[in-house]
């Protein structure tokens, strides 16, 4: 917009909104030498239209506000400086001034809402109005403090405390926690809380004293105006409610930032615990750090206690009649969230503790087994070049070393899954090396054991076969033996033969076992020796009933013979 367009716009606004007739045009002004008389005549229209508006006013209402502000500021400046002659009379004047100030302030707010939407009212003028009203409010406050300072006796001390309390409450908590560390936040909130306690610790006693004084007939309307006492009472009630809310707020925030400090330590510990494990020394160091934090410093116990305090303080804040509902919800939400977070962290820590211990245990298995197994394998390779007896002696405890190898294998595989990449790669190479060595030795030992087993089976076969043959030979001699023809001799043989008869099944089983043993040795189960055993057993089975029958017949005859002999 050029100069001429701005002039046209100004003339239009003056004519339409201010009622100032348009006596000149933009072309009359936007020249090298404008007609001064015409311009002065036009300006005079503003003076006639708004004869009483102060300098700098935009419209009538704005001018009235400026005029009132200027007069009030000047009057208050004088009142503040002049000593009080009659406190009751002056306080009533103060009350009138407060009422007028409240009305003007409402008028100003309505004016601001209206003019803030207008493109023709400068924003700077609205800011100026706010500044002037704030200045008047400050002067009114100073006047009130002057009146309070002139109260008699204990009332003056109470009023001074009320003013101090109002300053603390009005000061607010002007910090941005996101810009500070938890330690700095805790320090600031602790300072606020200590200041709060120092100011409000005796508030109940102060309130009780005031309520006693305001009922004192020697004071009411004699020394102090009723309005003054009423004002003090109202302010005191506000302080009692606001200070309680502020105190509980600060109490919660102190615990909140204590928890944050400890949670940072917990998060730091969890960060290291969540990393891949290192070697034995690093894992042991981390385990010791875990024990120091959890068991020595009792980090979790401290946080659990603080969370309990925090929950209680959130409830105390919510129980207030006058409170910030949004803050109460935030306190409860934070308490619930921190409790859930802690519960999850405790479960995670238990898992990490078990993981650390399991890692250390597997490192110990590795340290105790790897070098020993390596030495045993080296010596075993040399022993395999020696005699069978030396081999058998050295590898007699092979099963124990097999268990050692299995434990070592499992330990290394576990460590590879939890350790960092560099350590895992080194362990993988060692596992491949030891497994390859173990397989070579294992194959040779298994071959040695097979040979030893076959030798034992051969010896067992020969011994069993010889035992069976000897037994069969003994039975055969018994079958061919003809005892004396006496009842005693025949009965003794009969008993021996019955015993043999009862053991026939056992003989069959022994021969079958011998056949199986022969087959395991790769021999023909029907070779000559085994066939001889079968033949002799068959002959024994055939002869045995006949001999028993013969002996039974002979025993019958002998019994009859003895029965026929005369008794001596």
Count helices and strands in the chain by DSSP H and E runs: 19, 0
Would you say 261 and 183 are in contact if contact means Cβ atoms under 8 Å apart? Answer: yes
pLDDT at 57: 46
pLDDT at 475: 75
User: At residue 55, does pLDDT exceed 50?
Assistant: no
Query: Hey, do 151-274 and 456-564 end up sharing a CATH topology, with the first three levels equal?
Result: yes
pLDDT at 529: 65
| String of DSSP letters for 98-164 | HHHHHHHHHHHHHHHHHHTT-TTS-HHHHHHHHHHHHHHHHHHHHHHHHHHHTS-HHHHHHHHHHHH
Q: Domain 456-564, CATH 1.10.10 — does that match? A: no
Owner of token pair 């124990």: 400
Backbone angles phi, psi at 299, to 5 degrees: -60, -50
| String of DSSP letters for 283-313 | HHHHHHHHHIIIIIS-HHHHHHHHHHHHHHH
User: At residue 53, does pLDDT exceed 70?
Assistant: no
Question: How big is the chain, counted in residues?
Answer: 568
CA dihedral sign, ordered 214, 215, 216, 219: positive
User: At residue 568, does pLDDT exceed 60?
Assistant: no
Number of neighbours of residue 20 by Cβ within 10 angstroms: 18
pLDDT above 70: percentage of residues in the chain? 90
pLDDT band at 45 (very low <50, low <70, confident <90, very high): low
pLDDT at 113: 79
Model confidence pLDDT, tens digit, residues 325-356:
999 999 999 999 999 999 999 999 999 999 99
pLDDT band at 367 (very low <50, low <70, confident <90, very high): very high
Q: Which fold has domain 151-274?
A: Methane Monooxygenase Hydroxylase; Chain G, domain 1 (1.20.58)
**Rounded distance, CA 362 to CA 368, Å?**
10
pLDDT band at 42 (very low <50, low <70, confident <90, very high): low
226 three-class SS: helix
Would you say 104 and 55 are in contact if contact means Cβ atoms under 8 Å apart? Answer: no
Take residue 388 and report the two structure tokens written for it: 């069978």
pLDDT band at 56 (very low <50, low <70, confident <90, very high): very low
Model confidence pLDDT, tens digit, residues 428-460:
999 999 999 999 888 888 887 777 777 777 777
- Show me where the domains of the chain are located: 52-150, 151-274, 277-419, 456-564
User: At residue 18, does pLDDT exceed 70?
Assistant: no
**Rounded distance, CA 37 to CA 34, Å?**
9
Rg from Cα positions in the chain: 58
pLDDT at 267: 94
Per-residue b or e along 309-325, where b marks 16 or more CB atoms closer than 10 Å to that residue's CB: bbbebbeebeeeeebee
Model confidence pLDDT, tens digit, residues 117-149:
766 666 777 788 889 999 999 999 999 999 999
277 three-class SS: strand
Look at 514 and 418; give whichever has higher pLDDT: 418
Model confidence pLDDT, tens digit, residues 166-216:
999 988 788 888 899 999 999 999 999 999 999 999 999 999 999 999 888
Angle ∠(83,84,85) on CA atoms, nearest 5: 115
- Global confidence as pTM: 0.64
Take residue 437 and report the two structure tokens written for it: 């060595």
Q: Average the pLDDT over each of 93-97, 136-140, 410-414, 539-543 and give the range with the smallest value.
A: 539-543
pLDDT at 243: 93
What's the whole-number average pLDDT of the chain?
85
Model confidence pLDDT, tens digit, residues 481-540:
777 788 888 788 778 777 777 767 777 777 777 777 677 666 554 466 677 777 777 777
pLDDT band at 547 (very low <50, low <70, confident <90, very high): confident
Q: Average the pLDDT over each of 149-163, 167-181, 416-430, 460-474 and give the range with the smallest value.
A: 460-474
pLDDT at 348: 95
Take residue 172 and report the two structure tokens written for it: 């607010």
pLDDT above 90: percentage of residues in the chain? 51
pLDDT at 221: 77
pLDDT at 265: 95
- CA dist 68 → 46, 53, 61, 62, 534 (Å): 21, 11, 11, 10, 142
pLDDT at 255: 96
């Amino acid at each position: 917009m050029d100069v001429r367009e701005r002039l046209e716009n100004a003339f239009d606004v003056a004519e339409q909104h201010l009622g100032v007739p348009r006596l000149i045009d933009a072309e009359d002004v936007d020249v090298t030498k404008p007609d001064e008389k015409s311009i002065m005549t036009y300006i005079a229209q503003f003076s006639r239209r708004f004869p009483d508006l102060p300098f700098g006013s935009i419209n009538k209402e704005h001018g009235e506000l400026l005029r009132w502000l200027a007069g009030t500021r000047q009057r208050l400046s004088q009142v503040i400086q002049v000593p009080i002659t009659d406190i009751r009379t002056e306080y009533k004047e103060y009350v009138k001034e407060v009422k007028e100030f409240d009305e003007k302030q409402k008028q100003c707010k309505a004016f601001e809402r209206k003019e803030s939407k207008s493109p023709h009212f400068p924003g700077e003028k609205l800011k100026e109005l706010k500044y002037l009203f704030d200045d008047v409010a400050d002067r009114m406050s100073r006047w009130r403090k002057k009146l309070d300072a002139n109260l008699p006796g204990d009332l003056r001390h109470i009023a001074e405390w009320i003013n101090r309390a109002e300053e603390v409450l009005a000061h607010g908590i002007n910090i941005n926690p996101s810009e500070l560390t938890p330690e700095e936040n805790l320090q600031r909130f602790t300072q606020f809380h200590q200041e709060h306690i120092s100011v409000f610790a005796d508030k109940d006693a102060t309130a009780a004293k005031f309520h006693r004084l305001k009922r004192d007939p020697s004071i009411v309307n004699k020394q102090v105006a009723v309005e003054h006492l009423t004002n003090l009472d109202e302010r005191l009630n506000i302080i009692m409610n606001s200070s309680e809310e502020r105190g509980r707020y600060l109490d919660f925030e102190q615990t909140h930032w204590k928890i944050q400090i400890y949670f940072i330590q917990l998060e730091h510990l969890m960060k290291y615990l969540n990393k891949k494990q290192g070697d034995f020394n690093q894992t042991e160091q981390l385990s010791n750090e875990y024990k120091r934090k959890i068991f020595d410093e009792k980090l979790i116990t401290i946080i659990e206690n603080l969370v309990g305090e925090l929950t209680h303080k959130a409830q105390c804040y919510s129980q207030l009649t006058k409170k910030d509902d949004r803050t109460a919800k935030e306190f409860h939400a934070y308490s619930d969230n921190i409790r859930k977070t802690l519960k999850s962290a405790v479960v995670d820590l238990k898992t990490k503790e078990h993981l650390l211990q399991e890692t250390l245990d597997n490192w110990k298995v590795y340290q105790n087994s790897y070098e020993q197994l390596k030495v045993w394998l080296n010596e075993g390779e040399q022993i395999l070049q020696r005699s069978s007896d030396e081999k058998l002696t050295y590898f007699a405890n092979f099963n124990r070393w097999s268990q050692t190898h299995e434990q070592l294998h499992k330990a290394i595989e576990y460590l590879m899954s939890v350790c960092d990449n560099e350590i895992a790669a080194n362990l993988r190479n060692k596992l491949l090396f030891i497994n390859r060595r173990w397989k070579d030795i294992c194959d040779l030992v298994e071959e040695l054991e097979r040979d030893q087993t076959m030798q034992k089976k051969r010896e067992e076969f020969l011994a069993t076969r010889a035992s069976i043959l000897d037994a069969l030979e003994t039975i055969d001699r018994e079958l061919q033996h003809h005892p004396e023809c006496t009842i005693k001799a025949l009965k003794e043989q009969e008993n021996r033969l019955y015993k043999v008869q009862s053991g026939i099944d056992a003989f069959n089983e022994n021969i079958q076992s011998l056949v199986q043993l022969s087959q395991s040795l790769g021999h023909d189960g029907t070779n000559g020796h085994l066939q001889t055993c079968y033949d002799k057993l068959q002959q024994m089975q055939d002869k045995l009933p006949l001999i028993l029958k013969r002996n039974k017949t002979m025993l019958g005859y002998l019994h009859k013979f003895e029965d026929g002999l005369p008794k001596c």
